[in-house]
Amino acid sequence: MSILIDKTSRLIVQGITGRDGRFHASRMKAYGTHVVGGTSPGKGGELADGIPVFNTVREAVWKTAADTSVIFVPAPLAKDAMMEAADAGIKLVVCITEGVPTLDVVEAYSYIRRKGAHLIGPNCPGLISPGRSLVGIMPTMIFREGSTGVISRSGTLTYEVVYNLTEKGLGQSTAVGVGGDPVVGLYYRELLEMFENDPGTDAIALIGEIGGDAEERAAEYIRDHVTKPVTAFIAGQQAPPGKQMGHAGAIISSGSGTAAEKIAAFEAVGVPVAREPGQIPELLRSRR
């Protein structure tokens, strides 16, 4: 089993005629994702690697019954792209674009929720259910089908943790990169709930980083609602206060959001925290 995407997902690629959209559309199609179309205003009727191109998302959904969208458009256009997808009936919107203004994300996310859809991202690598479907830019060769759910704020740390899991024989049910911006769509709480309810997931690896209080709130949710074993890793343990580390959301401010606080929150509810990513597989094995 998996969460959010599987072999039945029908994907359109917004921005498919651009460099990144075309490249990753081909990769997702080659992996086995059911890429049913793409959009690029003014280029409807063309083909991109054999994938039909439409002028609008509404037209694409009408002609292909798409239910999922991945967005590769410039940051100034991302808000409209996200809202267009939800307005057309797309149920899962995945925005890869980085540099989207925070207020644009706030507006788009609110609109998407009102439409009853889910948002992943922006500024994220997307998600993958190994052996079933890829929606995004994750390197497929390191993933292996299995039963460990992965949630991460960091794209590259997702890959490092997954590589270690796969090397130790722990495959993944679904891996989700939520994005590192101050405001994003689905986050730890919602995804923890999905993995808790997924019969194909028997353990969860959670990768956090400094900044904000999402990890602390995730720890509270795990304490009250999650019965499956969870192991965490917090990036930025050596970051000085007030210093932004990589992601726009990875900044310690007003004395909060430190790695020590996040680690303490997890350990207080019985979630072991790895000191380095390579320790996660053994910590998960010890709790199964």
Q: Do residues 95 and 121 make contact, with C-beta atoms less than 8 angstroms apart?
A: yes
Longest dimension (CA), the chain: 57
DSSP 8-state code for residue 2: -
Residue 276: what are its φ and ψ, rounded to 5°?
-150, 155
3-state helix, strand, coil in the chain (%, to 5): 35, 25, 40
Q: Crossing angle for the helix pair 259-268 and 214-225, nearest 10 degrees?
A: 0
- The token pair at 119 is 């948002």
- Which amino acid does the sequence have at 146? G
Active site residues: 247
Q: What is the spatial distance between Cα 102 and Cα 127, in angstroms, rounded to a whole number? A: 22
Which of 205, 198, 191, 196 is CA-nearest to residue 228?
A: 196
The pairing of strands 51-54 and 47-48 is antiparallel
Identify whether the C-beta of residue 67 lies closer than 8 Å to the C-beta of residue 39.
no
Burial class (CB in 10 A: 0-12, 13-18, 19+), 225: exposed
CB 219 within 8 A of CB 269: yes
CA distance 110 to 240: 33
What does the alpha-carbon distance between residue 5 and residue 1 come to, in Å, rounded to a whole number? 10
